[in-house]
Amino acid sequence: MSSVFPSRLLAGATVLVLASSCSIFHRKHAEPAPVVETVRTPDSPTPPTAARDLADVMTSVLHLRPDQTTKVRQILSSTVEQANAARQQYPAQSPQLNAALSRINKDSDSQMRQALGPATYKEMQAKGAQIRAQMQQRQ
């Protein structure tokens, strides 16, 4: 009798293990992920994806060459990093932050002018509203 008991115990344990791993016993309830809406304020950090998105829009609108797109992405990524660093360093809406952001924008604009060339840079300025509108659609 003692030899039957362990085999029954083993068989019962095997059934229990198999049953507990069966999807019938562990159904995942398909609950939708909660929707989290992010509200950006003027002093919120700019997401790094913004540089990529803006470069993509500029490539589309201005018909940039691949080498120009690469350079524009680098310039915009650097600009975002510098602006976010300035936002962490200085209080929001402070004269120091405004001066830092102004300098960063000037440097970025100068680099953009050089990377795009005079004709494409003027086209970028002329199509600024179209570029901004497409960026708004992406957000």
- Taking residues 22-37, what's their average pLDDT? 53
Is residue 6 assigned to a domain?
A: no
Alpha helices in the chain (DSSP H): 4-20, 49-62, 66-89, 95-116, 118-126, 128-138
Looking at the structure of the chain, the number of domains it has is: 1
Is residue 30 assigned to a domain?
A: no
- Inform me whether the pLDDT recorded for 30 exceeds 70: no
pLDDT tens-digit readout, 43-101: 678 887 889 999 999 999 999 999 999 999 999 999 999 999 999 999 998 999 999 99
Is residue 53 assigned to a domain?
A: yes
* Single pTM value for the model: 0.68
Is residue 41 assigned to a domain?
A: no
Structural domain including 90 reads 49-138
* Non-local CB neighbours of 64 within 8 Å, separated by 6+ positions: 58, 72, 116, 120
Is residue 3 assigned to a domain?
A: no
Is residue 21 assigned to a domain?
A: no
Is residue 33 assigned to a domain?
A: no
- CB 113: neighbour CB atoms within 10 A? 15
Is residue 109 assigned to a domain?
A: yes
